[in-house]
Amino acid sequence: MGTEYTLTEDDKPTPGASFLEDVIELQLLTANESLGPVDFTHPQEHHDF
């Protein structure tokens, strides 16, 4: 709580502004080919096979 977040611009937020949306939009410019969502999990404890 109380973290000061680093924004790319220092202007006042406009109505409907979303810094998270803006960042994702930029990220998508260099995104991979769409193959659908991926699940990636690790063993909960030690599992042998």
Partner 1 sequence: MTGKLTLTSPADLLAYIPHLLGGTPTESFIVLTASAGALGATLRVDAPMDTAPLGFAQTVTSLAAQDENATACYLVVYTDETGDDARFPYAAHVAALGKELVTARMPVRKVYLVTSTHWAAYGSTERNPLEQITDSNANATLTFMGSAPNVDVYNPALLGKWVEPVQVPVRTEESVQEARREWDTALEAPGMPDHETTRKLAAWFQDTYIRDFLMADIITTNNGVIIDIILGKFDGRPDWKRVDHAETIAFELMKAVPEGQRAPMLTLMGWLQWLKGHGKHAERYLKLAVEDVHGYRFAELLYDLIGSVYIAEVAKNQETAYKRPTS
Residues of this chain that interact with partner 1 (CB under 8 A) are 1-8, 13, 15-21, 23-28, 31-49
In the complex, minimum distance from the CB of residue 12 to partner 1, in angstroms, rounded to a whole number:
10
In the complex, minimum distance from the CB of residue 33 to partner 1, in angstroms, rounded to a whole number:
7
If we measure between CA atoms, which residue out of 8, 34, 12, 11 comes closest to residue 21?
A: 8
In the complex, minimum distance from the CB of residue 11 to partner 1, in angstroms, rounded to a whole number:
13
- The Cα–Cα gap between 35 and 33 comes to 6
